[in-house]
Amino acid sequence: MRTWRVGSFSMGGALVFLGVFLLLQQFLGWDPALVLMSWWPILFIVLGIEILFYLFIAKSENSRVKYDFISIIFIAIIGTTGIGMAILHSSGLFEFTQKIVSAEVREMDLPKYEENELKGIERMQVDAGPFALTIEATDQQEVSLFGTFHGDVFGDETRIKKVSDYAMIEKKGDTIYIKMKDVPYNHFYRSMDAVEATLLVPKNIALELKGNWQPITITPRNLLSNWKIDGAEFVHVNIEKTSNLALNLENIDSLEEQDWEKIKKTDEDLIESASRKFGKGEHQLTIQGSNQVQIQ
C-alpha cells in the first residue's frame, strides 16, 4: 500500500511563495507587512488543495494518507501570525504602531493667534491650563498668542494644526476669554509634550490670569491697567525702571528678601501679604495663592 504524506508539499510551496513575494517586494517597493498579510492565505489554499488531491489519489489507488504534522504545525503558526496581523491592520493598531515607531521629536511653532478688533474690550480672562505662560504688556492695540511646541511628530502629521487645538478663545461683551488646552493625544499613547506660549496684552486692558499651578512669567512694562495672577506655582516678574505700578502679594509660600514696604507673615512664616511700589504705583499688579514669587 502506497503512503502519501500531506503537508510537506504545502510547506515547500509556502516557502517558495514567500521567497517570491519578498523578492518582488525588493524590486517593487511593497510594504513588507502588507506582503505578509497578502501572502499567508495562500498557505491554506495550497494545503487544502494538497489534502483534497491526496484523498482523491488514495481512494483511486487504495493508498493510505499520512499527515506531516510538523509541516502542518509550521503552516498553522505562519497562518495564525498572518491572521493576527490582519486583525491588527483592520483595527488600526498596526498603522498606529508604525506611527509610534517612526515618530520624531521636534520643536515647532504654534499656530499664531492675533486679534486687533478690540473696540469695547476692557479686560481679558486667561486660564493657563497645563502649560507655562509668559504674559507681556504691549503698546500695540493687538492681542497676540504664539509660542513653541515640543513633542512627537508622525511623518508630516502634527497634532497641533490650528489655534483651537491648543487654546479656546472667545470674545464676549467687553471680555476676551482664553483657555489653554491639552495637546490632542491618543488613548493608547501619550508623549511628554511641552508647550511654551507667550501672550501679548495691550497695556490698557485689565487681565485676570488663573495660573493652574503652572510657572508664569510676567512683564508688565508700562502697564496702564490692573492685572491679577491667581494660583500659579512660580511667578517671575520682570519690572522695568519706568514702571508705574504697585505690586501686591497675598498668601505666598516663599518670597525673596527685598525692599518690601509692607509685609505681613503668618505664624508658619508664610507671606500673608506684602506690597511694593514702582514709580507712583498708580496701577495694580496682584499675585495671590502662589508657591513662590521672584522679582527682577
pLDDT given at position 49: 74
pLDDT given at position 122: 94
pLDDT given at position 287: 92
pLDDT given at position 24: 67
Rg (CA), the chain: 34
Inter-axis angle of helices 93-102 and 69-91, nearest 10: 80
pLDDT given at position 191: 58
pLDDT given at position 84: 65
Rounded to 5 degrees, φ, ψ at 89 are: -70, -45
| Coil, strand or helix at 183 | coil
DSSP 112: P
Domain borders along the chain are 3-102, 105-295
Q: 220 - beta bridge partners?
A: none
Cell of 83: 491572521
Tens-level pLDDT at each residue, the chain (296 residues): 455 555 566 666 666 766 676 666 666 666 655 655 566 666 667 767 766 776 666 665 565 656 666 666 766 676 666 666 666 665 566 565 656 665 667 777 889 999 999 989 999 999 998 888 999 999 999 999 998 887 666 666 677 788 988 899 999 999 999 999 877 665 555 555 678 899 999 999 999 999 989 999 999 988 999 999 999 999 999 988 788 888 999 988 887 776 777 888 887 778 888 888 888 889 999 999 988 888 88
Distance CA 26, CA 114 (A): 50
Strand bridging mode 245-252 / 283-288: parallel
Helices (H), the chain: 8-28, 32-61, 69-91, 93-102
pLDDT given at position 30: 60
pLDDT given at position 187: 55
pLDDT given at position 87: 61
Cell of 103: 515618530
DSSP 159: S
Distance CA 214, CA 227 (A): 17
Q: What predicted TM-score, i.e. pTM, was given to this entire model?
A: 0.67
